[in-house]
């Protein structure tokens, strides 16, 4: 099972106007307004396909799989996977989670995510 979180965007560059040295992330906001509904659906399907592929290969993934995406003129491109939450994006995404965070994390860790009701997210923004 796979449950996607709202998209978040971090701030990589040190100065305004996307200029300056790359900092690795100086904060984030969610949900990101830069991604369209169609692009988000594509990115979510890419994550589901990765989880399905691991399952089909006999290597089911259990836990949190963070996909790092970049939006391009050709649509979202998946640049990286991390078997952890993204930082600082998590600091903006988790406050939006209305479902019981402990229950969600326990279900992820025990492979029971599909047994939970759909995750509930606040209709709000966080940074």
pLDDT in tens, 81-112: 988 877 788 889 999 999 999 999 999 888 89
Residue 66, pLDDT above cutoff 70: yes
Q: Pull the structure tokens for residue 22.
A: 């790359």
What sign does the dihedral 68-79-39-29 (CA atoms) show? positive
Tell me the CA distances in angstroms from 10 to 1, 29, 67, one per residue in order: 26, 7, 13
Query: Residue 96: what pLDDT?
Result: 97
Query: Residue 20: what pLDDT?
Result: 85
Query: Residue 25: what pLDDT?
Result: 66
The model carries a pTM of 0.85
Element (H, E) at 46: helix 37-56
83/88 Cα distance (integer angstroms): 15
Query: Residue 12: what pLDDT?
Result: 74
């Amino acid at each position: 099972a796979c449950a996607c979180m709202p998209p978040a965007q971090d701030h990589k560059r040190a100065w305004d106007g996307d200029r300056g040295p790359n900092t690795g992330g100086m904060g984030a906001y969610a949900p990101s307004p830069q991604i369209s509904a169609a692009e988000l659906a594509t990115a979510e399907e890419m994550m589901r396909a990765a989880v399905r592929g691991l399952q089909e290969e006999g290597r089911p993934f259990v836990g949190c799989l963070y996909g790092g995406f970049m939006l391009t003129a050709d649509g979202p491109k998946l640049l990286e996977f991390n078997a952890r939450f993204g930082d600082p994006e998590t600091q903006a995404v988790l406050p939006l989670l209305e479902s019981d965070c402990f229950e969600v994390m326990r279900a992820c860790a025990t492979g029971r995510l599909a047994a939970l009701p759909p995750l509930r997210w606040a209709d709000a923004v966080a940074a």
